[in-house]
Amino acid sequence: ALKYPRLSPFVIPQNSYWGFTTKPIVTLSVDLIMVVRSGLLEVTVNDFSKTMLRNRQVFTSIDPLLFHGLKEDFNKGILNIPLHEGARTFLDRDEPSFLERYAELGGVILSIVIAIFSGLVSLTKWQAQKKKDKIDEFYEDLMNIKNTIPKIKQIQEGMTQVKRVQRAQNKAFEMLIAEKLVANDSFRIYMELSKETINELRGKMRLIKMKQTKATS
């Protein structure tokens, strides 16, 4: 016991282990030691120590020898092994703060919140890009119509193209109401450009009509 301070003389009483000890046995006892991994949280070890020591009577009622000698005021100075910080804070009555106790849970919650926020941002960007792609389709169709204006030879061709632009305008407004398009600068520019295209088509039809009138006169 002098050489190894954690050992102390101990007598196992007669008939302590269900008749296996037929007479008292002189032996050595050692403090109860629980080995944990180095990365185990202080709060976890603190709570475990609290549970074990404060429920000593319950465990003793199960088996009087199970926690014989288990106490909260043992001499930490005789230890020649590292004492976990969680056990030290319990023995020193240095209770972990609210932040220390729930730091891990808070980290998980924060990660979830960040993931949800990132997902919402990505979803918003995706929806905005989807709406932009839609208005780009209207622009492309309108530019194709504008490119055909110089090639129009008949009034009926011009009327067909005017109706095509007007149908596209109506469709754009319907999608705006259904929130599939956004009333931003791109949408307003498209509407102005579509009106300009209709005016160009009507101007082209007037020129064709004038030529036809001159040809018949």
pLDDT per residue over 55-66, tens digit each?
Answer: 777 777 776 666
Mean pLDDT on 159-173? 89
Tokens of 107: 């980290």
Mean pLDDT on 16-22? 78
Say what the pLDDT of residue 133 is: 56
pLDDT at 27 over 70: yes
Say what the pLDDT of residue 74 is: 63
CA distance 5 to 9: 11
Q: How many CA atoms lie within 13 A of 33 on its CB side?
A: 12
Mean pLDDT on 173-180? 82
CA distance 61 to 70: 14
Say what the pLDDT of residue 77 is: 66
Q: How confident is the model at residue 190 (pLDDT cuts 50, 70, 90)?
A: confident
Cα→Cα distances 109→2, 103, 116, 122, Å: 51, 10, 10, 20
pLDDT at 205 over 80: yes
Q: Of 43, 28, 45, give the one whose Cα is nearest residue 82.
A: 45
Say what the pLDDT of residue 8 is: 79
pLDDT at 37 over 80: yes
Say what the pLDDT of residue 103 is: 66
